[in-house]
Amino acid sequence: MPSISMFFGIIIYMYFDEHRPPHFHAKYQDYEAVFDFDGELLEGSMPGKQLKLISAWAVLHSQELEANWQLAEDKQPLYRIEPLR
């Protein structure tokens, strides 16, 4: 899974394997979760603080996430998205 961003120990990944809805994956320590581009948790679990950080990041970068999803669908390389600071 290609990493597209990293911040505060959280790694954000995206890949396309022909399933919807559009989403991204997040890892933090032993936690893994899947989010939509509005920052809503779709599956998995994440500690509260990291959940809020990931959700805020997704809202700020939803257009870039959409663009990356389209690239992934077309089997093109994804670009990095600016982390939270």
Asked whether residue 84 is assigned to any structural domain, the reply reads no
Averaged confidence pLDDT in the chain: 94
Q: Which of 3-7, 17-21, 29-33 has the lowest mean pLDDT?
A: 17-21
Residues 23-37 as b or e (16 or more Cβ within 10 Å = b): bbbbbbeeeebebeb
Asked whether residue 19 is assigned to any structural domain, the reply reads yes
pLDDT at 4: 97
The residue among 6, 12, 38 whose CA lies nearest residue 24 is 12
Asked whether residue 79 is assigned to any structural domain, the reply reads no
Residue 43 is part of which domain span? 3-73
- As for how many domains the chain has, the answer is 1
Give SS3 for 10.
strand
Asked whether residue 29 is assigned to any structural domain, the reply reads yes
